Structure 1
């Protein structure tokens, strides 16, 4: 299994949080969200369109984002997404949960390394 496979597996459960983070910066549409994720990951992670739109639908059904159609003056008509106050709250809770999980995982891995277990 390559590094990109591992990254995808680890990241998959946090896609909603990542999308909410991007939308906290301002309204955006699908293609630009994908580009932002690629940019912020320095090209190490590429979110696929089906995953993006599944997440956007889920976030919208939960009331964490809303959508609207932009005007057509800048090319094709685009659907923009904006984070709601509930989405901002959910984002902050998810970040805190991630930090707690990261600390626990780091602790478990460090303890195993220090004990010499799991190195076989």
Structure 2
């Protein structure tokens, strides 16, 4: 099965929020998780990922902070806010509704 980037692209922010609902994380770790969950069939471009972080932070859906790694480079971590959790639940409900409608449209209304 081929994953169409166009279908996923519109849900980048929801994918990020969903990951952050599980735990605070940083960009590389989120992208690694996406690749693992899709058996290496999909990954976000770095520019896409960090643009989404900026949008989500500006909207108050996530916040960022610097990690305190003792070895290696410092990482910027992201965490979901209560407003972000609300947005995630709404986006999931919208996705579920969209799946039902698309199934009806491509399966002859059944």
TM-score normalized by the length of structure 2: 0.94
Structure 1: which 5+ residue stretches go unaligned? 115-120
How far apart, CA to CA, are the structure 2 residues paired with 1:77 and 1:32? 14
1:62 aligned onto 2:59: yes
Q: Report how many residues are paired.
A: 109
Cα RMSD of the aligned pairs, angstroms, is 1.3
> Please, which of 80, 84, 89 is the counterpart of residue 87 of structure 1?
84
Give the aligned partner of residue 72 of structure 1. Answer: 69
1:109 aligned onto 2:101: no
Which contiguous aligned blocks of 4+ residues in structure 1 show a shift greater than 4 angstroms? none
How far apart, CA to CA, are the structure 1 residues paired with 2:63 and 2:87? 14
Structure 2: which 5+ residue stretches go unaligned? none
Larger Rg: 1
TM-score normalized by the length of structure 1: 0.86
Equivalent residues in 2 for 1:1-40, closer than 5 Å: 3-4=2-3, 7-40=4-37
The C-alpha deviation readout for 1:37-60, integer Å capped at 9, x for no partner, is 111111111111000000000000
How far apart, CA to CA, are the structure 2 residues paired with 1:17 and 1:67? 17
